[in-house]
Structure 1
Amino acid sequence: MTDVTFTRSEYTAAQYRWRLVRDVCKGSETVKVAGDYYLPRPNASDKSQDNKDRYDAYKKRAVFYNATGRTKHSLVGAVFRTWPTLTVPGALDYVATDIDGQGVSVYQQSQSVIGHLLEVGRHGLLVDYAAVEPGTVSRADEHAGRARANVASYPAESIINWKTRQVGGQHLLSLVVLREKVDVDTDDGFGSEQATQYRVLRLDVSGVYTQEVWEEGSSKAEMTVAPFAPLNGSGQPWRIIPFQFLGSENNDTSIDDSPLYDMAEVNIGHYRNSADYEEAAYLVGQPQPWMSGLDEQWRDHLEKAGIFLGSRAPWLLPVNGACGVWQAQPNTVAKEAMDAKKQDMVSLGARLIERGSAVKTATQADNDSAAEHSVLSLVVSNVSEAYSQCLVWMAEFVNATGEVVYKLNQDFSQITLDATILSALFNAVQGGKLPEGDFWQYLRDRGVINPEKTDDEIRDELEAQSTGPALDDTEVIPNGGKPSNP
């Protein structure tokens, strides 16, 4: 029996940790909406309305401190502190502004992909082309964007099934099933509903890449688009599936660990401790007046006259009566647990939570940075390699030739420009001791020169600049250039 909705066991096993990290990174609202999935009820066996109301207040008072989400944004920002290097043939220049056909640039899409990998350690990219008949696409269609290669981004949750098979000396993808959400217009033409469909990518028995689409119905999924074979720029069918897996460890088909999972678990524990701490502060945080030695007559008198607090409202008590204010002793267990988890998150990489008070030397700072960003470096390297491969496939779709490179920054330390070093390097170039290309690369790495400019482009721009006075060729010199009479 055909079941396009089948999911692999590894996919099912990863659902809990994927949801946990996703929800934590989204923030307080998402975590609190989940209710007792993340914050257990203090008295779960009590189903009364009073207990439900108490739990709602208990949850509302809790403070969710989103260290995990802030850490993710900080790490992505560190990668794009220096602009990536993009080198593509002229036919693919559009990827710098629109790589997916929806106005998202390769830079924006790769930012999002890095965020996904930090959250769940898995992602996918599909290189595709408009489904048109061979030979019917004109240059005008390509320039207008009606038919051109693009890269579609798929989160880990959308990649529900995959298979590989050995062809010669390598293992090739033979099947990928992608679950997609598509908008369907309602009958009135204004509203829309979301439907689920499945895009099936496979290598058929003859080794040709095909696509087909299934739509989820009320009882079963049915095929809505029959298998078709996309063609490359030469009009030939593909012999591979142009789908690229990305991971936090490598870019194979296996599901890698989530880099932020451990921090997310601690973050949820911090949230639960906060709920207990705020509940205790609410219940016993205010001082409680008390009286003793009252008989019924004094009690009735005070109830009738009312009891007021303050120096201008003295309490009249009978002989041997006593009064006071009861203040609960501080219970620091929940607070200490919160502080301990905060330190745990700091050690796991949440630098934005708390900065160290000690002043570190430059060497210590560099060593700390190298250790802390080792996982991020691996993620960035995987993303660079994946996009470089996708751009090669895009070039094959449009039959373009030339160098293809997409390289993200892997130096996450704060970039500085040292005037002394800069002067020494310049003098070395002037003295013939350092190639000018190495000097320009130093400036590229520090954002002074556009990292996408080649040495030849820099040299041409320098030669085109005038070294003399900024005078226009058509400027008229007064008095024919002769000195004026005094």
Structure 2
Amino acid sequence: MANDVTFTRPEYDAAKNRWRLVRDVCKGSETIKAAGELYLPKPNAHDLSKENAERYKGYKARAVFYNATGRTKHSLVGAVFRTWPTLTTPGALEYVSKDIDGQGVSIYQQSQSVIGHLLEVGRHGLLVDYAAVEAGSVSKADEIAGRARANVSSYPAEAIRNWKTRQVGGQHLLSLVVLRETVDVDTDDGFGSEQEIQYRVLRLDAAGIYTQEVWQEGSAVTEMIVPPFTPLNGSGQQWKVIPFQFLGSENNDTSIDDSPLYDMAEVNIGHYRNSADYEDAAFLMGQPQVFMAGLDEQWVKMLEEKGIYFGSRAILPLPANGSAGILQAQANTMIKEAMDAKEEQLVSLGARLIERGSAVKTATQADNDSAAEHSVLSLVVSNVSEAYTQCLAWMAEFTDATGKAEYKLNQDFTQISLDANIMAALFNAVQGGRLPVTDFWQYLRDRGIINPEKTDDQVRDELETDSAGLGLDDETGVTGNGGQPSNP
């Protein structure tokens, strides 16, 4: 077992079924229905006849999957990015705002995806690496051209198969991480592609030096295809830590945290099963059934030959003492009530898109409700901000860059609004020397009026430039500067 790179930890095995449930629910109806009996048990499962199999197809097709969980996830991610994040980097890392992973994905797009993963399964991983063109031959020109630079690769929980830590001094450091990767390989004709599985192994060796190796999974055996090598930082020194960052819904340690959306996903599946029964009952019993009584064999034969026309303009002949009528099933609200109860449960778990409360709330009540609903989201966002700030620091170390590196996501999920009275009071406080202008600019940054990535110096320079070039008095020649043009 010690040499089995495909080994998975017991807690990983225990969590993967929960992860699959939430992942599938968030993907929506097509994925849920494709899973068949996993999420929708077959009625009369002991009946293996072809007729029962055909009935199950119709039973599943009529079921309606209402994806409250997936919609909730998207709305929560949208709430985070209602206000744009603040990114501060050294000049050498400015490219992360457009491409952080070497595949054209910006730090903003990647962090949106990471938040979604954490809401689904409560776990994720980020690996900081340096894509060099050739060992020992990286030049500054290579870095500028993008042929060699630090990047951050994103790994879902399912890809992080094994991990270990060990105590070094007063710290518990990662000593092993095994990542399962899927790579596309072109076929011989140059058009198609095939997928191969490989395992990237990150280690701290016995001397405390970080190494990487790659194993490839074959049909018969999994073997090493890239022997251990030692990445170097921007100063040419060996790494003493593994630059891999775990992220969780509770904290960023190596343990597996709970999935924030798991409870919703369970209720969502229950709602789907109720829907299948409800739609099946409506299909079987919802249509009216005509019946006739008092017919002898002669009348039955005649009606079979001529057919029966039923409706307000059709004449239905009957023998003496014969009768006809319509059977209509009475409404059975039990299944519908079960669905309604689950919808209320989904609302209480955070599915605001299903049903909005009609009661008028005060501003205080709305703020309190929002704080309660988004408390888990706030923790997730805080963990993501800290993780990316650490990754940016590692990227700076890879490129030997100096300067502040920080990524801060919005944690105020209430609807941002501008109050004219507050704005006027703050402006007067600035004018009266009672509030620093930089604090006023920060207030505007928080509300999206000023680009949050602009520094105070940039704002000041732009204001000075704009003030010098407005020339509002040039045509009128009135007040302000004695009627003189602003730009002589």
Instruction: Name the TM-score, length of structure 2 as normaliser.
Output: 0.95
Q: Which residue of 2 aligns with 1:448?
A: 449
- Counterpart residue type for residue 457 of structure 1: Q
Contact preservation (8 Å) 1:95, 1:106: yes
Cα deviation digits, residues 307-352 of structure 1 (max 9, x gap): 1111221222222222111110111111111111111000000000
Matched, 1:288 2:266: no
Matched, 1:195 2:214: no
Distance in 1 of aligned mates of 2:150 and 2:105: 14
Aligned runs of 1:11-30 on 2, under 5 Å?
A: 11-30=12-31
Q: Which residue of 2 aligns with 1:81?
A: 82
Q: Which residue of 2 aligns with 1:262?
A: 263
Distance in 2 of aligned mates of 1:131 and 1:196: 23
- Counterpart residue type for residue 257 of structure 2: D
Aligned runs of 1:302-321 on 2, under 5 Å?
A: 302-321=303-322
Distance in 1 of aligned mates of 2:296 and 2:34: 51
* Counterpart secondary structure, 1:149: strand
Distance in 1 of aligned mates of 2:45 and 2:157: 34
Percent identity, please: 79
Distance in 1 of aligned mates of 2:178 and 2:27: 27
Contact preservation (8 Å) 1:131, 1:230: no
* Counterpart secondary structure, 1:402: coil
In structure 2, list runs of 5 or more residues that go unmatched. Answer: 475-482, 484-488
Cα deviation digits, residues 262-321 of structure 1 (max 9, x gap): 000000010000000000000010111111122222222222222111122122222222
- Counterpart residue type for residue 63 of structure 1: V
Cα deviation digits, residues 156-205 of structure 1 (max 9, x gap): 00000000000000100000000000011212222111000000000000
How far residue 469 of structure 1 moved from its aligned partner, in angstroms, is: 5.0
Matched, 1:217 2:230: no
Cα pair distance change 1:141/1:471, threshold 3 Å: farther
* Counterpart secondary structure, 1:14: helix
Matched, 1:61 2:98: no
- Counterpart residue type for residue 368 of structure 1: D
Contact preservation (8 Å) 1:203, 1:240: yes
Q: Which residue of 2 aligns with 1:401?
A: 402
- Counterpart residue type for residue 229 of structure 1: T
Q: Report the more deviating stretch, 290-299 or 218-227.
A: 290-299
Contact preservation (8 Å) 2:133, 2:147: no
Distance in 2 of aligned mates of 1:82 and 1:468: 31
Distance in 1 of aligned mates of 2:433 and 2:161: 59
* Counterpart secondary structure, 2:131: coil
Cα pair distance change 1:172/1:289, threshold 3 Å: same
Contact preservation (8 Å) 1:61, 1:278: yes
* Counterpart secondary structure, 1:81: coil
Contact preservation (8 Å) 1:209, 1:238: yes
Matched, 1:244 2:251: no
Contact preservation (8 Å) 1:79, 1:408: yes
Cα deviation digits, residues 37-64 of structure 1 (max 9, x gap): 1000001112222211111111001000
* Counterpart secondary structure, 1:175: strand
Q: Report the more deviating stretch, 297-306 or 319-328.
A: 297-306
Distance in 2 of aligned mates of 1:235 and 1:29: 51
* Counterpart secondary structure, 2:179: strand
Distance in 2 of aligned mates of 1:202 and 1:161: 11
Matched, 1:42 2:32: no
* Counterpart secondary structure, 1:212: strand
Distance in 1 of aligned mates of 2:130 and 2:469: 52
Distance in 2 of aligned mates of 1:260 and 1:169: 35
* Counterpart secondary structure, 1:451: coil
Cα pair distance change 1:439/1:313, threshold 3 Å: same
How far residue 471 of structure 1 moved from its aligned partner, in angstroms, is: 8.4
Q: Report the more deviating stretch, 231-240 or 287-296.
A: 287-296
* Counterpart secondary structure, 1:312: coil
Q: Which residue of 1 aligns with 2:162?
A: 161
Contact preservation (8 Å) 2:132, 2:138: no
Distance in 2 of aligned mates of 1:266 and 1:404: 42
Distance in 2 of aligned mates of 1:70 and 1:132: 42
Contact preservation (8 Å) 1:129, 1:147: yes
- Counterpart residue type for residue 129 of structure 1: Y
- Counterpart residue type for residue 145 of structure 1: G
Q: Which residue of 1 aligns with 2:423?
A: 422
Q: CA RMSD in A?
A: 1.5
Distance in 2 of aligned mates of 1:46 and 1:471: 86
Contact preservation (8 Å) 2:132, 2:147: no
Q: Which residue of 2 aligns with 1:33?
A: 34
- Counterpart residue type for residue 99 of structure 2: D
Contact preservation (8 Å) 1:39, 1:59: yes
Contact preservation (8 Å) 2:98, 2:106: yes
Q: Which residue of 2 aligns with 1:477?
A: none
Cα pair distance change 1:350/1:299, threshold 3 Å: same
Contact preservation (8 Å) 2:246, 2:252: yes
Cα deviation digits, residues 79-125 of structure 1 (max 9, x gap): 00000000000000000000000000000000000000000000000
- Counterpart residue type for residue 46 of structure 1: D
Q: Which residue of 2 aligns with 1:478?
A: none
Q: Which residue of 1 aligns with 2:52?
A: 51
